[in-house]
Amino acid sequence: MPDRIRVGAGLSVAEAHSHTLESDGMVTAVELVRAAAAIGLSVICITDHDTLSPLEEATEVGAELGVDVVAGEEVTCAFPPGIHVVALFIDRAIRMHMPVEDTVDAIHDAGGLAVVAHPFMPTWFASITEGRLRRLLETRAVDGIEVRHTAPVLPGTWKRLDDFCAAHRERVGAMLAAGDSHFGVHDLGRLVSVYPGRGAADLRRAIEGRTTSPLRALDPAGPPLSLRLGQQRRSLLELNLKRWRGVVGGRPGSPSAGAVRR
């Protein structure tokens, strides 16, 4: 049996950022929900890249197992640098490749919460820099930020990020941790968000009320090399081909285009 995450009375645990076979993950949504139940998560947020995944079956399985499923999307903003923003609790897909300010607006228009994904990575793509985040917060408030994440960072990054959040507390939103799971049982539970209450509605209230806290929880063994290589192929080749063909991303002709605003 896998280890279970244990927190104090009145508290629950959520994974705020995860992926399935609908983008570059290596598990189905149902497999992800079962893995979440096995380690004691109360909420799993499924945030596939540039698409709002079908979650009806996963939601039904989650209801049986005591795991709420939150519909989300990891949105790729305009290139360069293609900053990623996680949209939670949205009722429609968000179009990719908009400026980050417009992306935040579109998430809010769709009834969702905008969370800054894996900030301060040492790359020019996917992650927001300190300067760019400062400029964003001059005109927009976000709902949360991943103050601990599993992406690679340079020494001193966590302190720099903590100092930034302390200095911009009123506009940077809730402090979240996100495991960015792609492999289900092999990597779920590494970093999670603790919040008061039980299900998805309480998680939303906690994010809006800034009562979440990050937790480094489990240390799963990780996926075998074959799965890692398969995931890299999905991420670098297959997902980008889907974007180019308009299968994901809200481009004209894509399955989600009719549900996209802005």
Indicate if the pLDDT at residue 18 is higher than 80.
Answer: yes
| Helices and strands (DSSP H and E) totals, the chain | 9, 9
Count of domains observed in the chain: 1
pTM listed for this prediction: 0.93
Provide the pLDDT confidence category of residue 261 given band limits of 50, 70 and 90: very low
Determine, yes or no, domain membership for 257: no
In a domain, 6, yes or no: no
Residue at 119 is within a domain: yes
Q: At what angle do helices 130-139 and 157-167 cross, to 10 degrees?
A: 20
**Can you give the CATH number for the domain in which 205 is found?**
3.20.20.140
In a domain, 188, yes or no: yes
259, pLDDT greater than 60: no
Domain extent at residue 116: 11-244
In a domain, 250, yes or no: no
Q: 262 in a domain, yes or no?
A: no
Per-residue pLDDT tens for 146-157?
Answer: 999 999 999 999
In a domain, 5, yes or no: no
In one-letter notation, the amino acid at residue 59 is T
Instruction: Quick: pLDDT tens for 172-204.
Output: 999 999 999 999 999 999 999 999 999 999 999
C-beta separation of 53 from 80 below 8 A: no
Tell me which H or E stretch contains 252.
none
